[in-house]
Structure 1
Amino acid sequence: MTTPLELTARSSSGVYFARGPPEFKEIENVPKVNSKSCRIILFSSEGKYFAFTNGPQINIMNTDNWKTIATIENTKAYDLAFSPLGTFLMSWEPFTVSNANPQGSPNLHIYKTATGELIKSFTHKKQTNWKPQWSSDEELFSKMQNTDIVFYENLNFDKIVARVNCHKVLSYGLSPNVGTYFLICHTPGTPGQPSFGRLFKYPNFDSPQAIANKSFFQADKLDVKWNSKGNNALLLTSTEVDKTGGSYYGKQGLHFMGVNGQTNLITLSKEGPIYSVEWSPKNQEFCVVYGFTPAKATIFNLKSEPVFELGTGAKNCVYYNPQGNLLLLGGFGNLQGMVEVWDAANRKKVGSCIASDTTLLQWAPNGEQFMTATTAPRLRISNGYKIWHYSGSLLFEKPWVSGEELYDVAWKNHPKNTFKDPVISGKKVEGIEPSAPVASTQAYRPPSARNKPAVNFKLHDDEEAPHKPGQDGNLSKASLKQKKRREAKKAQKDESEPIGPGVKSNVQVNLTGDPELDKKLKNIKKKLDAIEKLKEQQSQGKPLEVNQLAKLKGEADLIKELQQLQV
């Protein structure tokens, strides 16, 4: 029997429950959730449970029959999170104090999902890093406590069994392993000193026990991205402000760290911001989208070596399907909504489309379709969601009612290995035409240029076609033309350089230690060396230009000036 695909949407009118392909209709026998105060919708990692807020309530549903199994009253939940196996639901509320309660009340709550029973409450004043981190088997529970990390075992939330307190921790990432656990901590540096990313094996947290250390001089923030095996991680460092003025987005860096102690700086072949980084679910590679426009996408192996260049273009995000055999590149936000889908193993593009005004994208659990949505508050008009086939065909669209706003859409999750790897075909499936008119892709031509041959050009000369690293044969025509232009310019410069690069004047310069004076002395020495090269050219019979002859006549004046400066 085929496992059905289902999804939910949160809007200004409540929660909407629908079926995915091939049915595309509302789920029957689900009570309507009409609410203007639904803030969050969330599935557990395996999709068994669905939680949403409705004003002061948290509702928990069993997705097998979409029946409500628990209602938690009188909450001010601002955010929700499930534990890895869905056993617990956690909520965070804004921390408040009052005259009657100057110390404030605990605002991080842990509930038993199946019953809604409150198990434990903690105080976590800021929303930053509020979500506790679990091991995949839920045997280890950890959370931030000021600048420490505290650990609990065997679902006993009353006894702290380990603590990271030898470092001032700003953030951390717990590996998703089972049985053996690893931790990467971000310790900010003092002014003039680097920040550190340190890898530890639980529960050995002393500095000499670190498996790996990585220092960063520009790292106000550190995002840790573990692969699904939990044996390798990517560390994305960032600063809010690029002090060099080179980027509006601040400064980013990307590093690799393995539990075997291996660390690498990932060298990117184009300058500019790092927009998106994702691990393949197959754990053998990762993809990075980076660089000034047109951005570049590159696939790296576990040695941090580039193995395939996906070319440049209007892209700023990357998504692997859950099975890891399809890779989607998109260009959203201030870009037109370009989507490319690649066969990840064979490095071949198998689909493309334009998904304009997309603010959200998510692969379906079966890995064959993906959903795009236009949501508020980013965009308050033309809200709705669309479902596409990986080949680029539009299968279904759900425009939202005029006057209402769509806030969020989410596929129901499924346990791992529920769906097999989709069979990839280069054939485009039959789809539907979009209801909204598609904007013309033709460039405007003034009346004087009409009925004349079109002039083809590219906005960026450094655009690249997909290719393996080191292969120029797959570069685009524009890129090859630009490369030849650079080489010709370099050759022309080399020809204009005076021969005899090792020729220098016999004049000696003694530096004084005064920066301004030494700068003048070095400039004069440089000019005298150039004159000596010109004299060498002249002795070999090469005719000199008028300006070069003028330089020769000025040699005596330069020597006199040098002598005066060295007095």
Structure 2
Amino acid sequence: MASAIPFAARSSSGITLNVGPPVFTDLGQYGPVQSKTCKTMLFSPDGQYFAFVDGSNLKIVRTEDWNEVATIQGTKACYLSFSPKSTYLMSWEQFYVTKDDPQGKPNLNIYKSETGELVKSFVHKKQGNWEPQWSADEKLFSRISNTDVVFYEDLNFEKIVARINCHKIAAFSLSPNVGTYFILCHVPGASGQPSFGKLFKYPNFDAMQSIASKSFFQADKVEFYWNSKGNNALLLTTTEVDKTGGSYYGKQGLHFMGLNGQTAMVTMSKEGPIYSVAWSPKNHEFCVVYGFVPAKATIFNLKCEPVFEFGTGPRNALYYNPQGNLVLLGGFGNLRGHVEVWDVAARKLIGNCEAPDSTLLEWSPDGIHFLTATTSPRLRIGNGYKIWHYSGALLHEKNSGPQEELYEVCWKKFPKYAFKDPVITSEKIEGIAPSQPVASKQAYRPPSARNRPTIRFNLDDDEEQSHKPGADSQSKASLKQKKKREAKKAKKLEAGEDNKEVSAPVVSSVQINLTGDPEKDKKLKNIKKKLDAIEKLKEQQAQGKPLEINQLSKIKGEADLLKELEQLQI
């Protein structure tokens, strides 16, 4: 397998195809597409085809020889999607009606990738949930129709063979299994009633035939995450508004579902939003980034138990490389763009870099390199892309022109196992210097403080280092509190306070003889305690310390206490 991997960049000038690393150059086999209206582009899942919309034409290119195999004219497609085996290409465009055509034309089209032949068209008015879903073997085809999920088999798009209509479905996800198929559905709850996540086995869709069911009250939206084996899934529930006022981002919850009927809620050890969720490509664990900044990142096993904590830091995104032996943690958006790369097996940080203003990140299929990009419309200035080595070395940089906007960058896809697991080392790779100046990491100091010693402190008391849950480790916050307690204790000892060894407690010379009667002995002990307190007050008075009125009255009451003590001991 050649090491030079193609990648495509779509901008306001058109589409360019490039290759690299190790050498970064233009793809000579297919020239740049010159167009200011390239709306979308996409590589097929196995990289066999490359499709893009050039103005009003949809073109399909075979990547083996980079020859155009089909041109579909007169399309206004906004979104594209391939079937799992790249047999079909689906496109969606805005639905509209005219005076001449009040019913509107079908806007969801399915084409044969090899020839561009139109196979079937549907009407799907809304952009949400437009993309049909296929089984991994392409035997099953499914899509949402109103609030039902309908199924077709064996590439026969004329006959509906099954339907989920026992519930009103807001979203669904088809498992990536082959031969046996499972479907996860989000069933919104009525006012005051919980929503449900339901797992069905195809084609058993009766209300009582669900394999597993999970209820949750806060679920305006549900995102589904299947592992690549298709035997376990995660459901990320989201409410647009947190009614408690605790979070600007709404409120999230993460739930686990297995084909064995097991369900569980993933418990987070820090409050706050859930920013990112991803399954390891090796299927035995998943990672979550969550909590108010500095956010935590935790790896969980299939029992939803934490097995490793990455600690806290300025992060809100995570990405596994395709082989699953590296995981990248990054902080983008309103964070400064710090990137960490960890060796998953060794639980070791092996690379880091700064990628400020990044709006896009994608691992290369080789699992060694990744690209970051600043794209429009999120950011309209400073557009461009960079390619990095996992150690944090910058290998290539391309900045857009002054009047050019970059919309998208993506690697060509490859079949699974096309690349072996990369050998991970801590060796630092030599890279290039970024063209943009790096912001100074030195904190600003006013002129009056520049010749004085630097005082170090943390803005965030809850910062934690990486560790295994249950290990003999303490967070920075607990260590800081421990140091505070020790310093306070040392200060008291130095001042002679609370030091029982330096200054013995003051007690009176009066002795008591216990009688064995519990009631009498209790009274004798109370009187002894009061006489000891009076003796201490008398000593303070002798040292010249002014006493309060109630303290003086206690001293005057000493004779009465002695008389009462004498009567009790008769």
TM-score between both structures, scaled by the size of structure 2: 0.85
Tell me how far 1:436 sits from its aligned partner.
1.2
The code of the aligned residue for 1:241 comes to V
Change (3 A) 1:79 1:467: same
Q: Could you tell me which residue of structure 2 aligns to residue 4 of structure 1?
A: 4
Residue 501 of structure 2 corresponds to none
Q: SS at the partner of 2:39?
A: coil
What is the one-letter code of the residue matched to 2:325?
N
Distance 1:216 1:539 in 2: 62
Counterpart in the other structure of 2:357: 357
- 8 A contact 2:462–2:475 mirrored in 1: no
Distance in 2, matches of 1:410 and 1:430, equals 24
Offset of 1:4 from its aligned partner? Answer: 2.9
Contact 2:340 2:349 in 1 (8 A): yes
Q: Which moved more, 1:446-455 or 1:358-367?
A: 446-455
Deviation by residue 1:51-99 (Cα, 9 ceiling, x = unmatched): 1111111011111122211100111111111111111010111111122
The residue aligned with 1:125 is: 125
| Secondary structure, aligned partner of 1:448 | helix
Aligned to 1:58: 58
Note if contact 1:183-1:200 (Cα within 8 Å) is conserved in structure 2: yes
- Report if the CA contact (8 A) 1:270-1:296 is conserved: yes
Gaps of 5+ in 1: 490-536, 550-567
Distance 1:434 1:84 in 2: 38
* 8 A contact 1:467–1:475 mirrored in 2: no
Deviations 1:25-59 (A, max 9, x none): 10113133100000101000011100111111101
SS, match of residue 480 in structure 1: helix
Change (3 A) 1:247 1:487: farther
Secondary structure of the structure 2 residue equivalent to 1:129: coil
Q: Which residues of 2 match residues 322-361 of structure 1 at below 5 A?
A: 322-361=322-361
Q: Which residue of 2 aligns with 1:514?
A: none
Q: Counterpart amino acid of 2:480?
A: K
Instruction: Quote the Cα distance in structure 2 between the aligned partners of 1:300 and 1:29.
Output: 45
What is aligned with 2:217?
Answer: 217
Q: How does 1:250-265 map to 2 (within 5 A)?
A: 250-265=250-265
Q: Displacement of 1:538 after TM fit? A: 8.4
8 Å contact from structure 1 (residues 464, 479) kept in 2:
no
2:30 alignment counterpart: 30
Q: What is the count of residue pairs matched by the alignment?
A: 501
Deviations 1:204-249 (A, max 9, x none): 0112111100000000101010000000000000000001100000
Amino acid in the other structure paired with 2:230 = G
SS in 1 for 2:479: helix
Using the TM superposition, give the Cα deviation of residue 304 of structure 1 relative to its aligned residue in structure 2, in angstroms: 0.3
Residues 34 and 263 of structure 1, relative CA distance in 2, 3 Å threshold? same
CA spacing shift, 1:257–1:483, aligned 2, 3 Å: farther
**What's the CA shift for 1:540?**
9.7
Q: AA paired with 1:155?
A: L
d(CA) in 2 for partners of 1:4, 1:539: 92
TM-fit CA distance, 1:488: 11
Deviation string for 1:417-472 (max 9, x for gaps)?
01000000011111111111111000000001112211111110000000111235
The whole-number CA distance in structure 1 between the counterparts of 2:189 and 2:484 is 45
Distance in 2, Cα, partners of 1:473 & 1:74: 64
SS in 2 for 1:261: coil
TM-score by length of 1: 0.85
CA RMSD of aligned residues (A): 2.2
Question: What amino acid is the match of 1:53?
Answer: V
Quick one: which amino acid aligns to residue 310 of structure 1?
F
Change (3 A) 1:347 1:29: same
Q: Report the equivalent of 1:481.
A: 480
1:443-482 to 2 correspondences below 5 Å: 443-473=443-473, 475-476=475-476, 478-482=477-481
Cross-structure match for 1:271: 271
Deviation at 1:191, TM superposition (A): 0.7
What whole-Å deviation, never above 9, does each CA across 1:155-182 have from its counterpart, x for those lacking one? Answer: 0000000000000100011100000000
> Does structure 2 conserve the Cα–Cα contact (< 8 Å) formed by 1:463 and 1:479?
no
Q: 1:58 to 1:191 in 2, by over 3 A?
A: same
What's 1:153 paired with? 153
Aligned residue identity for 1:160: I
Alignment partner, residue 72 of structure 1: 72
Which secondary structure state, in structure 2, belongs to the residue aligned with residue 209 of structure 1?
coil
User: Matches of 1:121 and 1:541 in 2, distance apart?
Assistant: 94
Letter in 2 for 1:62: R
Match of 1:288 in 2: 288
**Inter-CA distance 538–150: structure 2 relative to 1 (3 Å threshold):** farther
Question: Aligned letter for 2:317?
Answer: C
Code of the residue aligned with 1:352 in structure 2: it is N
> Structure 2 matches for 1:377-526, cutoff 5 A?
377-473=377-473, 475-476=475-476, 478-482=477-481
C-alpha displacement at 1:539, in angstroms? 8.8
Do structure 1's residue 201 and structure 2's residue 222 form an aligned pair?
no
Q: Which residue does the alignment assign to 2:166?
A: 166
How far 1:486 moved relative to its partner? 9.4
Instruction: Give 1:379 shift.
Output: 1.1
The answer for the alignment partner of 2:86 in structure 1 is 86
Distance change >3 Å, CA 59–CA 541, structure 1 → 2: farther
**Which structure has the larger Rg over C-alpha atoms?**
2
Q: CA 1:441–1:538 in structure 2 vs 1: closer, same or farther (change >3 Å)?
A: farther
Shift of 1:479: 4.4
Q: Cα gap change, 1:461/1:52 in structure 2, threshold over 3 Å: closer, same or farther?
A: same
Residue 20 of structure 1 and its aligned partner are, at CA, apart by: 1.5
Once residues 415 and 487 of structure 2 are traced to their aligned partners in structure 1, the CA distance between those partners, rounded to angstroms, is: 58
What is the distance in 1 between the residues matched to 2:16 and 2:482?
A: 54
Cα distance in structure 1, aligned partners of 2:404 and 2:526: 83
Indicate conservation of the 8 Å contact 1:462/1:482, yes or no. no
Q: Judging changes above 3 Å, is the alpha-carbon distance between structure 1 residues 442 and 188 closer, same or farther for their aligned structure 2 residues?
A: same
Gaps of 5+ in 2: 489-524, 535-547, 552-570
2:60 counterpart SS class: strand
Check 1:539–1:289 CA distance in 2 against 1; reply closer, same or farther (3 A cut): farther
Counterpart AA for 1:375 = T
- Distance in 1 between residues matched to 2:254 and 2:62, nearest whole Å: 40
> Counterparts of 1:363 and 1:244 in 2: how far apart (Å)?
38
Equivalents in 2 of 1:94, 1:539: separation in Å?
92
**Superimposed CA distance per residue, residues 88-138 of structure 1 (whole angstroms, 9 cap, x where no aligned partner):** 010111111122222211111000011111000011110000000000010
Instruction: Report the secondary structure of 2:208's partner residue.
Output: helix
Is the CA contact 1:236–1:255 (under 8 Å) kept in the aligned structure 2?
yes
Tell me the CA shift for residue 2 of structure 1: 2.7
- Find the counterpart in structure 2 of residue 532 from structure 1: none
Corresponding position: 1:110 with 2:110? yes
In 2, distance between residues paired with 1:483 and 1:166? Answer: 58
Structure 2 partner of 1:18: 18
Q: Distance in 2 between matches of 1:258 and 1:107?
A: 36
